Structure formats: structure tokens, C-alpha cells
Chain A
Amino acid sequence: MEQLKTTAEAERKLLLQTTGLSIGYKQGRNNLKEVATGLNLEMFAGEVICLLGPNGCGKSTLLRTIAGLQETVLGTVEIEGTELGQLKPALLAKKISMVLTDNVRSGDLDVYSLIALGRYPHSGWLGRLTTEDKSVIDQAILSTATGEFVDRKLATLSDGESQKVMLARAIAQDTPIIILDEPTAHLDLPSRIQLMRLLHRLAKDTKKAILISTHELDLALQVADQIWLMQAGGHMATGLPEELVLNGSFAEAFNKDGIMFDPATGSFNMHASGVKSITVNGDGTAAFWTRKALLRKGFHISGAQKESLAVTVLENAGQPRWTLEKDRKITTYHTLRDFLKNVNLIEPT
């Protein structure tokens, strides 16, 4: 058992490590604003890390500091054992590639040229591409499925497409670490899921360490091997997503003004908890959505059976049926709409 553990540990290759890192930015000439202190973080090969936290807590500052775009205030960042400050910009560009929130406005650039720019740290002084460069670019295009629009101009791409292209550029840079700053920000839901799945697969297939800052809590919980949870004031909690849910870090980080993180569902409950309690029996899809509807109507869903109000959702040959039990009086409804209308009329006891 002990033997097994040590080999597993050895396989987790440490790519980046921060020790006692303080981050911040300059405000004016001599005014340094620290946003977080004492950060000890680790990034391993083949892992997706999601950096979560409310707006303005310093996520971007942290990413930029780790990537060497911004100076550290205190402490060190080590990349594959070498301290960040010791790495020349050209060498650093071979370690970390980035997808930023910066809008690339150069509409005349075609997709292929943009992806090819990822070879910048590797190509010669005039930027001519060798056959090796070209095969890396082709691989990047293949893995991001951007092949169908390599000839198009950047200005003609949708947000989802252009985000994939920017990722392809980062992949073409061929670095062990990729850092993405809110890559899902302007995407619709399918594109978000697609991108996250792509990043997850990329980390597993190519053994890259991928750090993503995002607001997509539910997606982060699904793809992240590690979560860095940052709070306003610079407090940082790290660990497996599930650990952070179970130890209450999520609730602590996000609960404000009546918005509750529900550890049972891993999502936020935007409805104020109701005064009326109801028990919902049944566990099919219909029961799930009935719970959702009741929450929206301001009910409190109780797990206990002792409530005076209870509904049993039964699915019979794909036809759901709602059986409402109130003070031993039983009524059956055949549509959700009907059920909700009647259950809503009941006065709170």
C-alpha cells in the first residue's frame, strides 16, 4: 500500500510552485495595493485547476503574477524548479502560454496566422515556420477542432470560435503550462461546456497543467482536479472540489445577501427560503423538476416525513402523476401546472 502511494506521488509531476507569494498592483507612484498574501500553491502536470472567486478578489492579478506579466510583491514563483525572475522572457514563453481577456482587434489577421503566432518563441528571427512548427500548428488546430475556419479572418468569428482559436494559439506555443483568464466569459452554455471539456481532455492527453479562472461553479466542480477558491480579502482555500464543498469553504466564500450555496446540489439557491414546508417523495426526473418548481414558488423542501403537506410523484408509463396529501386528505393531479396552482392556494399552517 505504501509502495503504491509513493509511485502515485512520483507520477504527479510538479510544474509550478509558489511559496509565501504576495500579489498586488501599484496604484499611483508609491502606493502598493496588496490583494493576497502568503499563497502556497502547486500545479501538477495533467491537472486542470479552476480558480474561483468573486469579482475583484484578485484572480487576474494572481494569474498575471504567476505568468510573469506582473511582478511579485513578496515570495517566489518557481517553474519546473527555476525561479520566475531567473527566467528570460523568451524562455518563460516556452513554459507558460496564456489566453487572456484582451480583445484582439486585428481583424485582418486570419485564423491560421494567429495560431501560427503561437510559434513565436520557437521560430527564428524573421518568424519563418519550419516543418516542425507547421506540424505543431496542425496538431493544435486538430485538437481544438478549428480546422474548418483556419482561412477565415478573425473579425468574422463568433465569440466561441475565437476563444477556441486563442486556445489553439496557446497550444501551438507548446508549453507545459497553459493559463486561461475567464475563457468562458462571453460564451453560450453549449460552447462553455465544449470548451471546458476540451481543456479537461487536453490536460489528460498532453499532461499539461491548465489553470482556468472562471465563474462557472458547476462546470468547475465537474472538470477541476484542484480548485483554488479565492475570497475578497485574499483568503485562499485549495483542494479537491469535493473537499471544498464538504468543508464548507464554498458556502463561506459565496454566501452573501441571502444567496445560499447548497452543498446537497452543488449549486446556488437564488430563492429565499419559503415559509411553507412540503415533503416531496419520488426520485425520477419528474420529481426533480417538481422540487425545482416548488422552490421557485417559495416552498421549503423538507426531507422529513412529518410535514403536514406531502406530494408523491409517480411516473406511470412516462406519464407523471402528482398525489398531494394534506391532513390525510388525498388529491391527485395529472399536470404539474394543475398541481402547482392548487398547492399554492394552501395557506401556511
Chain B
Amino acid sequence: MLALLVFAFLLDVALGSIHIPFKAVLGILISPDTADTTWLYIIQQIRLPKALTAVVVGCGLSVSGLQMQTLFRNPLAGPSVLGITAGASLGVALVMLSAGTITSLYSIKELGISGSWLIILASSIGAAMVMLLVVTISSSLKDNVIVLIVGVMIGNITFSIISIWQYFSAPELIKDYLIWTFGSLGGVTGDQLLILTIVVIIGTAISFVSSKLLDALLLGDNYARSMGVTVKRARLLIIGSTSILAGGITAFCGPIGFIGIAVPHLTRALFNTSNHRILIPGCCLVGTLLMLVCDIVAQLPGSQTVLPINVITALVGSPVVIWIIVGRNKLKGF
């Protein structure tokens, strides 16, 4: 599996709209000095960051999805159920659709849509606000299912606000916003990649530390309580790390669907366990692999076109999940 992962990573770096031979790619990765400068630039500045982003995003979304499915004991839960993605979208919509404050438009045009710090800041704040709201409400609730419903409702409210905003906005602005919602791995470079990586490492680390809690929560709130788990505190920890992961990734790459829901199921099927100490690293592996494959497909090998990543994740991933789950004829874990 690791070998497969390394191969997918290399393939992802090697493929793109400009043809670079596989050998040359390896050469650049091993000893950068000897290579053609154009190729060196493309690999180092564009393709390598993009592949690394795919790795980080794959890890983060999968782990946060796993946590949500365990916490809510619901196979359809994913990173977006708590409305965090919606919050990020609201932040972005706020900036993009607020009809031409000149600075925002300028910075978007100048830096490219997903590469803009302004957009990142806006969506981070949006995600954080919604997360704060969900955490505040949920801290007074006893039942995790109610927390889930509250999260979904807040997400709906947020999307409604965005829709109203879109309704009153100029078509060009809406187009820009729509492009953001397609998601992109390509805009994250340099410092941004570093920050995103740190955010995802922190989120995943918190998640791994709470793997014992997650195991206990598999039996439901009451059993968890009888084993000494303070359910409210555990919930806060889990929602917190999910928010960091999902919020951070959405801020940098736009909303990327599907991975968070699908990868935990694939991982459970492949590793045949419910132990989170194994499932969390497992999700990182499977999530990374799936994300790299999606990115390779998105570039449509041999062509000049690049499809939006958010479209590909569902298009490539769904059949895989259907194949595996129908093949086993039951949804393991639930």
C-alpha cells in the first residue's frame, strides 16, 4: 500500500499539461541542480506543492470524516455535517459577492482565486464562527444526535444566506464564487502549504490522541459514560479537531466533498477493524491515495484541460465505494 502511495505521488507529479518525462521528474526530485530550469520550476513550484496539498487534504478530510461518523454513529456523517464547510463558504461569499469593494476584487484578480490570503482569511473566519456557534449550542446538549441535527440545520441556514446573496449579486461575481466552490489543490504554495500542513498535523494529532475516546464512543454515549468518559468534553475535543481540519482545508482549497464520507468506509473495509488507533493512520493512507488518484484523473492525462477537483472526487470515488460496499453487501461499522 505504501509502495502504491509513493507511485501515485510520483505519477501525480509527473503528469500535467506540459509533458515532462518520468525519468526527468525522478531526476529533478533526487538532484534538482542538474535539470532543465523550466522543468525544475514547473515541478518545484507547481506540481510538487499540488501533490503535497493532495496528501495533506486527503489525510485531513478522511480523519475528520471518521471522527464525525464515530461521534454521531451515523454512516452518512462527514466533515461537512457540522456546517463548518458552509461557514467557510459564507466567509468567501461575503468577500467575493460584496459587489466590488475594490481591494477584494483587485487581490482576487491579482493573486488568483484560491491563492488569495483574503479568501483564506475570510473562509477561516466563516468556518470559525459557525464552529463556535455549534460548540456553544452543543455544550448545553446531552444527546449527540441533537448536536448532529443542530449542525446540519446551521449548515442549511448558512447556505440559504449565501443563496440570497447570490440572488442579488452580479453574474460575474457569482461566477468567481462558483469557481471557488469547485475546489482546487493548485493554489496552495509556499507559506500557505506550510501553514496548511501544520494545521492538518495538529488536527490529526488531536484526533489520534482521542482515539481511545472514539473507541469508547462506538458503544454509544451511555456506555461511554459508564466507562468514565466525560461525553461533553470528548465531544468538544472531537468537534474541535474536526473544525480545525475541515475549516483549514476548506479555507485553503475550497470545499472538497466526498473524501470525508467515503474514505472511512473504505478504510474500515480494508483494515477490517474498528480500533481508531489503526483506523486513523489507515484513513490517512487511504485518503492520501484516493486524493492523489483523483488529482491524476483531474488533469486528464495527455490533455491540456484540468477539471475541478471537487467534481472528480465524487466521480471517481463513488463507484469505488459502491463497488466495495455492495461487494460486501453490508455497511460495516454501523
Interface residues of A (CB under 8 A from B): 67, 69, 89-94, 96-98, 100, 102, 104-110, 113-114, 117-118, 120-121, 123, 125-127, 153, 155, 173
Contact = CB atoms under 8 A, between A and B. Distances in A.
Prevailing SS type, chain B contact patch: loop
A117 B219 CA distance: 9
A28 to B, nearest CB: 14
Contact of B219 (A104, A127, A155): A104
Interface string B136-150: 000000000000000
16 contacts: A89-B230, A92-B228, A93-B228, A98-B222, A100-B222, A100-B223, A104-B218, A107-B334, A108-B268, A108-B274, A110-B273, A110-B274, A113-B274, A118-B227, A126-B212, A127-B211
Contact of A98 (B209, B226, B268, B273): B226
Contacts of B308: none
Interface string B50-89: 0000000000000000000000010000000000000000
Contacts of A127: 211-212, 215, 277
Nearest to A123: B212
B216 A89 contact: no
Interface residues of B, number: 27
Interface in B206-234: 209, 211-212, 215-216, 218-220, 222-223, 225-230
B175 interface: no
Interface in B268-316: 268, 272-275, 277
A71 to B, nearest CB: 12
B19 interface: no
> Which of the listed residues B225, B226, B230, B273 has the most CB atoms from chain A within 10 Å of its own CB?
B226
B223 A109 contact: no
Given A105-B334, A106-B334, A109-B218, A69 B212 contact: no
B220 A69 contact: no
Given A69-B222, A91-B228, A92-B228, 13 more contacts: A89-B230, A90-B228, A98-B226, A105-B334, A107-B333, A108-B268, A108-B332, A108-B333, A113-B274, A113-B275, A120-B227, A120-B229, A121-B228
B334 A126 contact: no
Contacts, number: 88
A178 B216 CA distance: 18
B330 interface: yes
A108 B273 contact: yes
Contacts of B268: 108
B264 to A, nearest CB: 11
A226 B228 CA distance: 28
A296 B124 CA distance: 75
Nearest to A94: B228
A94 B273 CA distance: 27
Contacts of A69: 222, 225-226
A338 B218 CA distance: 60
B73 A120 contact: no
Contact of A97 (B209, B226, B273, B274): B226
A51 to B, nearest CB: 17
A120 B225 CA distance: 11
A108 B333 CA distance: 4
B215 A102 contact: no
A102 B228 contact: no
B76 to A, nearest CB: 14
A46 B230 CA distance: 30
Contacts of A125: 209, 212
A121 B274 CA distance: 19
A120 B212 contact: yes
Given A69-B226, A93-B226, A96-B226, A120 B216 contact: yes
Contact of A100 (B226, B228, B230, B332): B226
A98 B223 contact: yes
B276 to A, nearest CB: 9
Nearest to A125: B212
A126 B211 contact: yes
Given A117-B215, A123-B212, A105 B226 contact: no
A104 B221 CA distance: 10
A155 B227 CA distance: 22
Between B211, B215, B219, B229, the greatest number of chain A beta carbons within 10 A of the residue's beta carbon is seen for: B219
B226 A107 contact: no
A93 to B, nearest CB: 3
B334 A102 contact: no
6 residue pairs, one from A and one from B, having the closest CB atoms: A93-B228, A127-B212, A108-B333, A120-B227, A98-B226, A90-B228
Contact of A93 (B211, B215, B227, B274): B227
A322 B275 CA distance: 66
Contacts of A123: 212
Contacts of A89: 225, 228-230
Contact of B223 (A104, A107, A108): A104
Contacts of A113: 215, 273-275
